């Protein structure tokens, strides 16, 4: 069959128009036809067609209840109503003369795919997901371009032309990704895990289930199309988005404070040191970067929920939380209040079409900030500040068995899923406490996170007969990842024998976390592994901290070696 161009004149029936367009797309894919669809609504045009529509060798389908454009009606090869298309979309694609020989290249054209991968820390899972999608596309024989949104920004960013030419956009991310670029494109979103474990399967799902992404104007208007706009994500994903954007402030501030102590000693922040480089660096780190930790956390939680209109209310709420003394707990509360508050206001406020542009830049930020600010000052801030003060005092006073227990819990969580939700929950808890000047949980969490990949690397050397040649060769890479505090380096080993390897790794990580917490080790920088430890002031009790990491590594390595069974070898015929 010849290529089909479809124009859906939805008018005020926006939802039915989008549904009709998607029904036509699914029917065309089922029948193996090539189709492009333009949906015209009162709020704008989705996927506008180019100049080649209704040209030689093409078919033009017009879907409209009322014909407002006689010229378009004359050009169309077929005209149907919205109701008829929704009732039988396959029949809408049958034209007079379709018994002609089909274009042999139509079915052979491989879908063009572009993808974005991202995770809260922007390190391991981001690139593992990209590798999984690339390998999956290679297995299927499809071209793909992947943009990795890592810790230093977008790697190999997608161009406007690549996005325009793509048949589907895949987003494999554990945090919210800005989708403004993909208005009118078919978009499929998932977490990074399925991309890592089965890229080919996820690509096939994306091609079958992708939904048309609405535009920025539509997102701020009153459209409620289930097939179009940004898909809802759970609170965990919103929290991880906030943590992701907060991390650079924590890292920069912590390193600057550590360098200040290295240059000026423990008195680098004293009044007597004013005017010195050490005092200046301390001010930049403590009063500059650290002052923005809670506002960034709150602002980007709200952004994840309500898009850009939520940023200002979230950041203002986060700033108020910091001023009230509610800290990171208050910032989390402010972010969710601002995000969900703006989302509700966006649905409730109805404006004429010519005033819709005021909502995202004026009305929603203003009312959202007012709502969040009043709730933080009069209702939420004070009790949350009291809870945080209690938590902070309890953590600082921890001695003996209580510190051991918390360290063991954080350590076991870090090794349980190695970069997954449980690991990230422990990490987010520890990073958040840095804003309240509580640094011991962060030290325990990083020690516990370094242990699993270091342990499997050591086990491949001590118990060589328990591992395949491929695993022994991968041991060196796991060790490098462990030194850099990338827990995901142990995932390939755990995936092959989870029931034995994961408990072994949890035991060592719990030991490392317990020793670190019980010794009162403090860490001011939430990432970097061994590479930040030599910086004076970044970590206290460095020798004890090294002992904790070594002890945890040895325990896990020995347990893995003792419990893991030797690989099965095929006997020679």
**What CA dihedral angle connects 456, 457, 463 and 468, to 10 degrees?**
90
3-state secondary structure of 243: helix
Query: Is 250 assigned a catalytic role?
Result: no
Please name which of 178, 191, 188, 193 lies closest in space to residue 144, comparing C-alpha atoms. Answer: 188
Q: What is each CA distance from 61 to 42, 85, 86, 212, 231, in whole angstroms?
A: 20, 11, 14, 19, 29
Other beta carbons within 10 Å of 55: 11
Q: What six digits make up the tokens of 335? A: 């972010």
Q: What is the crossing angle of helices 293-306 and 311-324, to 10°?
A: 150
CA distances to 72, 183, 353, 438 from 394, in Å = 72, 49, 54, 11
Whether 370 and 338 have beta carbons less than 8 Å apart is answered as no
Q: What is the C-alpha to C-alpha distance for residues 214 and 290, in angstroms, rounded to an integer?
A: 37
In degrees, rounded to 5, the angle at the alpha carbon of residue 515 between the alpha carbons of residues 514 and 518 is 80
Which tokens go with 445? Answer: 């969490």
Q: Rounded to whole angstroms, how far apart are CA atoms 25 and 63?
A: 13
Q: 8 pairs with which residues across the strands?
A: 39, 63
Catalytic residue from among 19, 28, 62, 119: 119
| CA–CA separation, 178 and 176 (whole Å) | 7
Q: Please name the helix (run of DSSP H) or strand (run of DSSP E) that holds residue 117, with its range, or none.
A: strand 113-118
| Half-sphere CA count of 518, side-chain side, radius 13 A | 16
The token pair that represents 226 in the structure block = 């289930």
Q: Helix count (H) and strand count (E) of the chain?
A: 24, 11
Grouping H, G, I as helix, E, B as strand and the rest as coil, residue 218 is: helix
Rounded to 5°, the CA angle 433-504-516 comes to 35
Q: How far is CA 15 from CA 51, 299, 565, in A?
A: 26, 31, 57
Q: Which residues are catalytic?
A: 119
């Amino acid at each position: 069959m010849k290529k089909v161009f479809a124009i859906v004149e939805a008018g005020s029936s926006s939802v039915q128009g989008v549904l009709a367009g998607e029904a036509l797309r699914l029917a065309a894919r089922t029948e193996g036809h090539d189709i492009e669809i333009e949906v015209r609504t009162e709020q704008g045009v989705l996927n506008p067609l180019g100049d080649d529509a209704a040209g030689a060798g093409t078919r033009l389908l017009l879907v409209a209840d009322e014909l407002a454009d006689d010229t378009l009606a004359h050009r169309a090869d077929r005209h149907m109503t919205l109701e008829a298309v929704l009732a039988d979309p396959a029949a809408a694609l049958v034209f007079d003369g379709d018994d002609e020989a089909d274009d042999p290249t139509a079915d052979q054209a491989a879908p063009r795919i572009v993808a974005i991968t991202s995770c809260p820390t922007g390190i391991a899972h981001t690139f593992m997901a990209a590798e999984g999608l690339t390998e999956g596309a290679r297995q299927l024989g499809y071209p793909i371009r992947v943009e990795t949104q890592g810790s230093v920004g977008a790697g190999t960013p997608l161009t406007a032309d690549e996005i325009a030419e793509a048949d589907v956009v895949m987003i494999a991310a554990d945090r919210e990704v800005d989708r403004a670029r993909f208005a009118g494109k078919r978009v499929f979103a998932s977490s990074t895990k399925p991309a890592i474990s089965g890229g080919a399967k996820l690509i096939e799902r994306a091609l079958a289930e992708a939904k048309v992404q609405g535009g920025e104007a539509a997102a701020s208007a009153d459209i409620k199309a289930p097939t179009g706009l940004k898909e809802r994500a759970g609170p965990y994903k919103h929290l991880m988005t906030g943590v992701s954007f907060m991390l650079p402030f924590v890292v920069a501030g912590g390193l600057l404070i550590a360098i200040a102590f290295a240059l000026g000693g423990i008195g680098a922040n004293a009044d007597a040191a004013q005017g010195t480089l050490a005092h200046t660096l301390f001010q930049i780190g403590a009063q500059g970067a650290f002052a923005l930790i809670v506002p960034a956390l709150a602002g980007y939680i709200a952004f994840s929920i309500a898009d850009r209109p939520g940023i200002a209310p979230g950041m203002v709420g986060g700033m108020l939380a910091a001023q009230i003394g509610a800290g990171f707990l208050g910032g989390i509360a402010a972010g969710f209040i601002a995000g969900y508050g703006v989302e509700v206001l966006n649905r409730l406020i109805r404006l004429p079409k010519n005033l819709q542009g005021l909502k995202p830049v004026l009305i929603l930020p203003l009312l959202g900030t007012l709502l969040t600010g009043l709730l933080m000052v009069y209702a939420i801030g004070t009790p949350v500040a009291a809870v945080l003060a209690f938590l902070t005092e309890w953590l600082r006073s921890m001695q003996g068995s209580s510190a051991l227990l918390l360290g063991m819990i954080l350590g076991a969580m870090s090794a349980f899923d190695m970069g997954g939700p449980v690991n990230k929950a422990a990490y987010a808890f520890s990073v958040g406490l840095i804003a309240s000047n509580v640094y011991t949980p962060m030290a325990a969490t990083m020690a516990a996170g370094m242990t699993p990949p270091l342990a499997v690397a050591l086990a491949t050397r001590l118990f060589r007969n328990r591992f395949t040649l491929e695993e022994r060769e991968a041991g060196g890479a796991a060790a490098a990842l462990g030194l850099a505090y990338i827990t995901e380096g142990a995932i390939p080993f755990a995936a092959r024998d989870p029931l034995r390897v994961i408990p072994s790794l949890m035991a060592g990580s719990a030991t490392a976390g317990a020793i670190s917490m019980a010794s009162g080790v403090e860490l001011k920088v939430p990432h970097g592994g061994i590479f930040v430890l030599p910086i004076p002031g970044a970590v206290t009790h460095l020798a004890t901290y090294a002992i904790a990491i070594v002890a945890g590594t040895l325990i896990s390595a020995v347990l893995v070696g003792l419990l893991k069974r030797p690989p099965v070898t095929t006997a020679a015929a």
